[in-house]
Every structure is written in C-alpha cells, then in structure tokens.
Amino acid sequence: MDNSAKIRVFLLDDHEIVRRGVQDLLEAEGDIEVVGEAGTAAEALRRVPAVRPDVAVLDVRLEDGDGVSVCRDLLSELPDLNVLMLTSFSDDEALLGAVLAGAKGYVLKQLRGPQLVTAIRRVAAGESLIDPRTAAEVTARLRHRTDRADPLAGVDLTERERQILSHIGQGRSNKEIAAAIFLSEKTVRNYVSALLGKLGLARRSQAAILAEHLRHEHGDDWAGGND
C-alpha cells in the first residue's frame, strides 16, 4: 500500500513493552504506520505536533500526568487529530473526562488485537466510539454524587482559583486558560494542581463536573469574572 494512504498513528504509554506490542500489532497491518511514540505526557505534547499523526492512542494513566489532559491540550493545538483513549481500568470519571476532552473513543487494554485495529481505523475515519447514551448516563451518575452535599463547604478558594475552576468547567485546556487570564501555562498548571488538592479531587474531569454543577445552581456569580 502507498505510504501516503496509511493511517499514521502515535502511541503514548508509560510501559515500553506495551508500546512495542501495540506497535508490532499495528505495523503488521498494511494500512497503518506508527509514526511516533512517547512514555510521558511531556514527551507526547512535544512530539505529536511535530509528526502530526491521524490518530493518537493515549494511555489514561501516566506517571507524569494523565492522557485525558494530554488529549485536551493536543486538540487545542491540533483540532483535526483523532484521539483514542486506551486504559486498563473501566472508570466512569475517566470516560467522562475523555468525552469532555474531545476523544473519539475509549477502549480497554483487555480487548483483542483485531478489535484495537478496528477501533483505530474507525476513529481515523472520524467515527466516535463513545455511545452518547453511555456518556449521558456517566455524567448523570457523577453529577448525582456531587449533588449530595455542598461541594465547596469548608473549602477556601481564592478568586483566582474559582476563576480557573470555571474555565475548567468550560472544557478549556491549561494553554487556553493561560491565554484568557494572562498567566503562563506553567502557572495555570500549578493552580490546577493546588485547586484539585483543596477540593479533594483526583482528576480534572471531576473538577469540570463540579464547575458545571455550581454554574447550574448559582449561575456565573460563584466564579467571579472569567476574563
């Protein structure tokens, strides 16, 4: 097959043996080419824009971050990129995070090789593998958890932290938030880490759900100015 017609794939996983296995699986197919790989979020954010793949296959859990945040940041720079999240764990919050970040698919590592190949081909063609009904059910379950108590009771958030939480709720990446409020991306990343710690949340997707709940209950006043 002509190389120009091949599906160009980038792999992000913090286990080298997994990357090698997936690469061997994919390159045994005549229509797929692995054009790059990374073991950390930082490497992926640097390398993916340089090689411009058709599909990025991102591990959800990484030593230096998470694949959902990588997905969000990559799509803010490469809106035509098709992202497939790959994880060892079935996780409502990670699934919702993938939906909010704009991923086209979310699959478990336990699936068989031919199924992964088919998933990559489908997202490369622009299809979504995330059933809208499933995404809606996950959102409802997580929102119900948040509704059971005052989510900010006893939490002393600064005006800036509330502002950043509001931006997270709007699905903006750290890069987009930094541009909106005139801070460096690194400073925003530090704010987000501190914010999650104060709220007792493990993931950015949880913060997005919380912000959506607050906006629904209190309008935009709870966050102060966003611009």
DSSP 8-class letter at 90 = -
The answer to whether 66 and 60 are in contact (CB under 8 A) is yes
> What letters, b where the CB count within 10 A reaches 16 and e where it falls short, cover 179-191?
ebbebeeeebbeb
Task: Match 């912000």 to its residue by tokens.
Answer: 211
pLDDT bracket for residue 84 (50, 70, 90): very high
- H/E stretch holding 115 reads helix 113-124
How far is it, in rounded angstroms, from Cα 142 to Cα 100? 13
Residue 140 pLDDT > 70, yes or no? no
pLDDT above 80 for 94: no
pLDDT in tens, 4-40: 589 999 999 999 999 999 999 999 998 999 999 999 9
User: Residues 41-79: pLDDT tens digits?
Assistant: 999 999 999 999 999 999 988 888 888 889 988 988 898
pLDDT digit string (tens) for 177-222?
Answer: 999 999 999 999 999 988 888 887 777 877 887 887 777 666 666 6
Is residue 144 very low, low, confident or very high in pLDDT (cuts 50, 70, 90)?
low
Q: What is the C-alpha to C-alpha distance for residues 43 and 49, in angstroms, rounded to an integer?
A: 11
For residue 227, the model assigns a pLDDT of: 47
Query: What pLDDT does residue 58 have?
Result: 95
Of residues 148 and 113, more confidence is placed in 113
pLDDT band for position 152 (cuts 50, 70, 90)? low
How confident is the prediction for the chain on average, in pLDDT?
83
